[in-house]
Amino acid sequence: MSKVIALKDLKPKLSETVIFGGSFDPVHQGHVSVIKLLVEKFNTVLVAPTAQNPWKERKSTSLKLRLEMLELVMKAEGLEDQVELCQVEYEFSEDLLLALRESSEESYTFWAIGEDSKNSVTKWRNWDSLNLTAVIAPVEIEIHSTEIRKGQENSHPALKEFIASNSLY
C-alpha cells in the first residue's frame, strides 16, 4: 500500500535511496533546494528525469541534454558525489520503479516530490499498488522552468553557456 508523508517527518540519513523524478527542463533552483534537503535525509538521491512527463503537453528537451544540464548544475552546487542521475527512460513512475526493482536488490520504496505536486501523486498510474512512500519536500520556487524556456527568467548560472551553445529555449 502506498502512502504520503512529509520530508520533515523522516529521520535523518536513512540508508535507503530516494528517487526524485521530474522533467528538469531545465533544472532550476527549486529543484536544487529539494535535492539538498533530500541529501540530508537519504544516503542516496537518484534524480530521474522523465522521458516525457505525461501531465504536460509540451515535448521535452531530449533526455540526453537534460541529463547534461543536471550534471552541470550538480557539479556547480557541489552535489555531484551525493546524487546519482538515472539514465533509464520512462514516462510513468510505475515503469521506472519496476525497471529499478528488477535490476537491483534495493526495493526503491521512496519517491520525493515537491510540495507543489503533492495533490497529483495519488493520481499516478497504479498508485495503490506501487508500494511506495511519496515524500513531500518543501520547495522554494522563485523561477519556474516554463519561465526560463520562454526567456522570461534566467537559468541556473551553470547552464547559461550550455543553453546558448545548444540553442535551447
Q: What is the pLDDT of residue 19?
A: 97
Tally of domains in the chain = 1
Q: What percent of the chain has pLDDT over 70?
A: 96
Q: What is the pLDDT of residue 41?
A: 95
Give φ, ψ of 6 to 5 degrees.
-85, 145
Q: What is the mean pLDDT of residues 141-162?
A: 90
> Interior CA angle at 41 toward 38 and 45, to 5°?
45
Residue with cell string 529543484: 31
Determine the Cα–Cα distance for residues 77 and 95; give it in Å rounded to an integer: 30
Q: What is the CATH classification number for the domain harbouring 110?
A: 3.40.50.620
Mean pLDDT of the chain: 91
- Quick check: 148 pLDDT over 90? yes
pLDDT classification of 64: cutoffs 50, 70, 90? very high
Q: What is the pLDDT of residue 89?
A: 86
- 123-to-55, 64, 82 alpha-carbon distances in Å: 11, 28, 30
Q: What percent of the chain has pLDDT over 90?
A: 70
Tell me the residue ranges of DSSP E strands in the chain. Answer: 3-6, 14-22, 42-49, 83-85, 110-114, 133-137
Q: Report which of 110, 168, 138, 133 is spatially closest to residue 30, judged by C-alpha positions.
A: 138
Give the domain extent around 57.
Answer: 3-165
- Quick check: 55 pLDDT over 70? no
Q: Report which of 44, 46, 31 is spatially closest to residue 117, judged by C-alpha positions.
A: 31
Give φ, ψ of 109 to 5 degrees.
-115, 0
Residue with cell string 501523486: 121
- Quick check: 51 pLDDT over 70? yes
